[in-house]
Amino acid sequence: MAAKHPESARLLAYDCLTPFGDVAETHRALCEGRRALAPVPVLGSRGGDPVPLALMPGRGLDEAPLPHWLGGIRGLAARIPGGDWGRPGRPIVVTSSNFGVGSLYSYRHDGGDPSHLGHGAPFSSVEWLRCELGWGADITVFSHACVSAHLGLVHAARLLARGLADEVLVFSYDFLSPFVAGGFHALKILNGQMPAPYRRQETGSIALGDGAAFAVLTRDRGEHQLVAQSLFNELHHFTANKADGSGFASVLEGLREAAGGRRLWLKGHGTGTLEAGRLEAESLGRCFPGSPLVGWKGSLGHTLGSCGLVELAIATEALRRGQAPGTVGTEGPCFIDEVATAPFATGGFDAVLCSSNAFGGAHAALLLAHA
Amino acid sequence: MPELYIQNLNTEMPGLEEPAATRERLRACFPAGAARRMTQLGMLVGSVLGPLNPGPEDVLVYASGFGESRSLEAYLDSFPTASPTLFQTSIHPSGAQQLMIGRQTPLRRFFPLSGGRQLVAQALVTALVQEGGRVLLCGGEERGTWLRECGVASEHSLAFALELAHVRSEGSLGRISLERGGGDEGLSLHDWCGLLARRQPFSGDAGAGWSLALEWF
């Protein structure tokens, strides 16, 4: 077995919030092949093309002066064990790509209600949450598009390894708005089609989803372990990946030693885009041949900066329950044969590799196993 | 807590300078034609980070509280016909990515931070916990327009870039050390950049419960 990785940590607690509910409800829904996605006008109350979005129950795409998602966040935060978060020894790492940017959109386009501004900027959104949830001020905020949550996990492990924390709370939240839906629609990757991650087809499409999650990391307590983590940034293009797939391969290379000798299943990024999906699937297939590959954004949509933590929670729940959800929304020919479209038992595997990708050719991956 | 040593330092504090003036002033820092496509923040950060020649094995820590304010403003104003280009450039950490994409230089470890009065402390902690090799700590803001008037964009444009090492060498310019025990409210990015630009020592609250000592040799 390889030496302990400098960014390994134990996972003491985890949960997530999706339109299906908490992590247990989300895991069950995924195993049953259900989709949280529904067509929603891309600009919310202002109309536009219908696009597949997974919104929290009862929530519209338009942001209210007091964001509708606060109740869900409060419920999620209530499930975080322990107290004194954000105080010495118990720092918080918050990650997001959206923060409260939907509030800025509403301020600009819905009459200029200044109450939107109290949580529109990243720092004010986090500060508002901090006050709502009673956290202390030791909060580090990372934002790196759709690998944001992975950076939080890497940083948390570093804080633990350097003795700067006894436990670290990593908390991530991303809720949709016309701001982000309009952006992806303008890029023509959010269209009216439901996503089918890793499916070999004529046109691709992503979907977007609301999501939040937390993980409590420790040095030596918890039933699951982040065995190793890896990052890589191509910095080749603002949105596209290098056509040779080298970015995908490079991030996986960082985990190859830690993965050695383990039987893996793979939870990929799998948004539903064609080129990135093909490059990702082929890289995973080459690096870990024979390992089943799943992606869950065909049901939950892409929860953006929070996807790494939302999907880590689901993957951990899958290990705990012994069943991994399949690639919901995908059927027919796929980029590689290993794409698993149906749920499968995790008992025959030693670990799961979870990966995420982002604009700028940013890649992140981690290896999760029973401790 | 180990210390970090400042090996190299560049700052830009153009304050109220408009983007067109920044573009004209810094055009020569970038390949021909590149500045035309860059944001003000991208040019400012690129002009201070570029001379440090970030490479694939460096750790890059990037701090910006407001990020790409001008692109964000313009993107918001592009609705209902959302601009894909402005959407891309409005996303954090575009300010640092513009230089790196222009140079086609990959990075394994890139940590973009956001935040308020704890941002300086947290960026320094992020730099301190890295192991081995060079750590480049950069950051910046660009002065907004209508978002600034709403209090959600910076009043001043600024940028800084530090080359940091874990061990003192003959050429070290200064030392940064953090200790537990400071207050929750600390230095703003503007305050921090000013200290660096003036090479001014500092001892006091950095934010988030950290106390900062900045010494110059």
Cβ under 8 Å to B: A residues 27-86: 43, 46, 48
Q: Which residues of B touch A178 (CB under 8 A)?
A: 79
Same domain, A257 and A179: no
Say which of B77, B103, B150 has its CB closest to residue A117: B150
- The CATH code of the domain that includes A187 is 3.40.47.10
Q: Are strands A362-370 and A351-358 parallel, antiparallel or unpaired?
A: antiparallel
Contact between B138 and B50 (Cβ < 8 Å)? no
A231 and A194 inside one domain: no
Helix or strand holding residue B16 (H, E):
none
- Among A43, A142, A151, whose Cβ lies nearest the Cβ of B80? A43
Q: Is residue A1 part of a domain?
A: no
Indicate yes or no: CB of B208 within 8 angstroms of CB of A121: no
Q: Residue A112: CB partners within 8 Å, gap ≥ 6?
A: none
Residue where a domain terminates, one of A196, A218, A240: A218
Domain check: are A214 and A279 in the same one? no
What amino acid is encoded at A53 in this protein?
L
Q: Tell me the residue type at B2.
A: P
Band of the pLDDT at A2, cuts 50, 70, 90?
low
Residue ending a domain, choose from A192, A218, A244: A218
- B180 three-class SS: strand
Half-sphere exposure of A289 (CA within 13 A, CB side): 1
Contact residues, A window 94-123, toward B, CB-based 8 Å cutoff? 97, 99, 101, 104-105, 107-109, 114, 117, 120-123
Pair (A131, A237) in one structural domain: no
Distances (CA, A) of B115 to A141, A287, B203: 6, 37, 21
| B108:A254 CB<8 A | yes
Residue pair A238/B94 in contact (Cβ under 8 Å)? The answer is yes
Last residue of a domain, one of A203, A218, A233: A218
CA angle, B60 then B61 then B63, to 5°: 140
Phi, psi of A286 (to 5 degrees): -70, -40
Beta strands B59-63 and B4-15: pairing type? unpaired
Which pairing describes strands A224-233 and A211-218: parallel, antiparallel, or unpaired?
A: unpaired
Tell whether A335 is covered by a domain.
yes
Interface of A with B in 137-166 (CB under 8 A): 137-145, 151, 155, 158-159, 161-162, 164
Together in a domain, A204 and A248: no
Q: Do A366 and A248 have their domain in common?
A: yes
Q: Which two tokens stand for residue A293?
A: 């590959």
C-alpha distances in angstroms, B217 versus A192, B52, B128, B205? 61, 20, 20, 21
Residue A248 confidence class, pLDDT cut points 50, 70, 90: very high
The verdict on pTM exceeding 0.80 is yes
Q: Could you tell me which residues come within 8 angstroms of residue A244 by beta carbon, excluding any fewer than 6 positions away?
A: none
8 A C-beta contact, residue B5 and residue B174: yes
Residues A236, A362, single domain; the answer is: yes
Averaged pLDDT for residues A324-335:
97
Backbone angles phi, psi at A289, to 5 degrees: -60, 140
Residue A238 and residue B94: Cβ atoms within 8 Å?
yes
Number of structural domains (chain A) is 2
Q: A292 is in which domain, residue-wise?
A: 224-370
Residue A3 lies in a domain: no
The DSSP bridge partners found for residue A368 are A226, A352
Alpha-helix residue ranges (DSSP H) falling in chain B: 19-26, 40-49, 69-77, 84-90, 94-103, 119-128, 146-149, 189-198
Please check whether residues A181 and A287 belong to one and the same domain: no
Q: What is the pLDDT of residues A153-197, one digit of tens each?
A: 999 999 999 999 999 999 999 999 999 999 999 999 999 999 999
User: A122 and A237 share a domain?
Assistant: no
pLDDT digits (tens, 9 = 90+) for A37-93: 999 999 999 999 999 999 999 999 999 999 999 999 999 999 999 989 999 899 999
Q: Residue A168: phi, psi to the nearest 5?
A: -125, 130
| Arithmetic mean of pLDDT over chain A | 96
CB B10 within 8 A of CB B158: no
Query: Residues A187, A269: one domain?
Result: no
The proportion of chain A whose per-residue pLDDT surpasses 70, expressed as a percent, equals: 99
pLDDT in tens, A224-234: 999 999 999 99
Same domain, A161 and A295: no
How is residue B107 written in tokens?
A: 């990075």
User: What's chain B's Rg over C-alpha atoms?
Assistant: 17
Would the CB atoms of B116 and A46 count as touching at under 8 Å? no
- pLDDT (0 to 100) of residue A1: 47
CB contact residues (below 8 A), chain A span 333-362, against chain B:
359-362
Three-state DSSP class for A43?
A: coil
Tokens at residue B5, please?
Answer: 């040593």
Dig out the tokens for B98 from the structure: 């513009």
ipTM of the complex: 0.97
| pLDDT tens, position by position, B156-192 | 999 999 999 999 999 999 999 999 888 888 899 999 9
Cβ within 8 Å of residue A194, ≥6 positions away: A35, A37, A52, A205, A207, A298, A329
Quick one: A196 and A242 in the same domain? no
Q: Give the separation between CA B115 and CA B110, rounded to whole angstroms.
A: 17
CB pairs under 8 A between A and B: 171
Q: Which of A87, A117, A236 sits opposite B151 (nearest CB)?
A: A117
Contact check, Cβ <8 Å, A360/B83? no
d(C-alpha A293, C-alpha B22), whole Å? 48
Q: What angle do CA B138, B141, B143 make, to 5 degrees?
A: 160
Query: Are A152 and A217 a contacting pair, CB within 8 Å?
Result: no
Q: What is the pLDDT of residues B95-115, one digit of tens each?
A: 999 999 999 999 999 999 999
